[in-house]
Amino acid sequence: MEKHLAELKDKYFYRAVFTELFGTAVFVYLVTSVLINLNPTSTGAASIVQIAFAIGLAISVLAQTFGPISGAHFNPAVTIGLLVKGDVSIIKTIFYVVAQHIGGVVGAAITYSVTPASRRGNLGSVAISSEINEAQGFFVEFLLTSLLMFTVLASTSKDHGRKDFGYANGLAIGISITVAHLVGIPYTGACINPARAVGPALVINFWPTHYWLYWIGPILGAIFASVLYRFIFSIEDQTTYKINEKETRNNNTSHQNEVVVEMT
């Protein structure tokens, strides 16, 4: 309890919360804008490839920019997954999830305000294909969000000798989102983010009956990935660890001996 109270008294905590709101707003604005596609030379909607790479690159840029400040979640499912992994507190999770949903609405509202009324359409809202049912749509969202969550965890963890490669971590997450959209757009629109779903839906009051799967699917997918990663994939082979540790010590000793020889 004292830890949570201390967190609430920290001014940098609120900066991180605002960063999640701001970053999610920018992300949802970019997503909905590329889906509307005002390109005067275009004969129709943006292609799947264009959409997938625009969204993936957007996340890579945002992760590189805001990662050191808030962790750059910009997705309630990711935040809940990190809670399950034990990387964020319940207080931070609550504040982040609320901020992300508000940011999603703000981002969609910006798109709505700068887009001609004749071109707004459904404002980039997601919808499942008429050729699949809701259970299939749920499973697609579940799997694609699991892929994203695994990538987030692998990119931010230090297990198995992983190293921090800076911008490459955000790029890996962006690529996973690009892959998810290349695969999932024809099925469900590849939402994989509850805040991205609620933003345009609330702005234009568009609530089809299948919208539940854009919350439940991503959240359960993120939880599934986090549980597997925490209790199975992140567990290191202690034998391998000891061997690597011994090799490191031997290398360090050898290097020190070489330095001594050179000095003499």
Query: Which residues have a Cβ under 8 Å from the Cβ of 260 and sit 6 or more positions away?
Result: none
Interaxial angle between packed helices 90-114 and 11-36, expressed in degrees from 0 to 180 and rounded to the nearest 10: 40
Number of domains, the chain: 2
Residue with tokens 């709505």, as numbered in its chain: 112
Instruction: Please give the structure tokens belonging to residue 255.
Output: 């290097």
Residue with tokens 């309890």, as numbered in its chain: 1
Query: Within this chain, do residues 144 and 264 fall inside the same structural domain, yes or no?
Result: no
- The answer to whether residue 253 scores a pLDDT higher than 70 is no
Query: Within this chain, do residues 249 and 201 fall inside the same structural domain, yes or no?
Result: no
- DSSP annotation of 230: I
Query: Within this chain, do residues 149 and 37 fall inside the same structural domain, yes or no?
Result: yes
Query: Within this chain, do residues 157 and 260 fall inside the same structural domain, yes or no?
Result: no
Instruction: Please give the structure tokens belonging to residue 168.
Output: 């490459």
Q: Which helix (H) or strand (E) holds 241?
A: helix 238-263
pLDDT tier at 2, thresholds 50, 70, 90: low
Query: Within this chain, do residues 152 and 27 fall inside the same structural domain, yes or no?
Result: yes
CB 83 within 8 A of CB 73: no
Query: Which residues have a Cβ under 8 Å from the Cβ of 97 and sit 6 or more positions away?
Result: 76, 79, 80
CB 178 within 8 A of CB 55: yes
Query: Within this chain, do residues 140 and 29 fall inside the same structural domain, yes or no?
Result: yes
pLDDT tier at 50, thresholds 50, 70, 90: very high
pLDDT tier at 71, thresholds 50, 70, 90: very high
Query: Within this chain, do residues 208 and 260 fall inside the same structural domain, yes or no?
Result: no
Mean of all residue pLDDT scores within the chain? 87
Query: Within this chain, do residues 32 and 116 fall inside the same structural domain, yes or no?
Result: yes
Higher per-residue confidence, 164 vs 24 = 24
Query: Within this chain, do residues 247 and 131 fall inside the same structural domain, yes or no?
Result: no
Query: Which residues have a Cβ under 8 Å from the Cβ of 52 and sit 6 or more positions away?
Result: 178, 179, 181, 182, 185, 190
Instruction: Please give the structure tokens belonging to residue 236.
Output: 């290191």
Query: Within this chain, do residues 10 and 113 fall inside the same structural domain, yes or no?
Result: yes
What's phi and psi for 121, nearest 5 deg? Answer: 55, -130
pLDDT tens for 138-162 read 999 999 999 999 999 998 877 767 6
Q: Is the whole-model pTM more than 0.95?
A: no
Query: Within this chain, do residues 109 and 228 fall inside the same structural domain, yes or no?
Result: yes
Query: Within this chain, do residues 86 and 137 fall inside the same structural domain, yes or no?
Result: yes
The mean pLDDT value for 197-218 works out to 94
- The answer to whether residue 132 scores a pLDDT higher than 90 is yes
Higher per-residue confidence, 18 vs 239 = 18
**pLDDT-above-90 percentage for the chain:** 69
Nearest to 74 by CA among 51, 54, 104, 29: 104
User: What is the pLDDT, as a whole number, of residue 263?
Assistant: 47
Q: Which helix (H) or strand (E) holds 3?
A: helix 2-9
CATH number, domain with residue 182: 1.20.1080.10
Instruction: Please give the structure tokens belonging to residue 252.
Output: 């360090």
If one counts every other C-beta atom within 10 angstroms of the C-beta of residue 168, the result is: 13
Could you tell me the residue range of the domain that residue 258 belongs to?
240-264
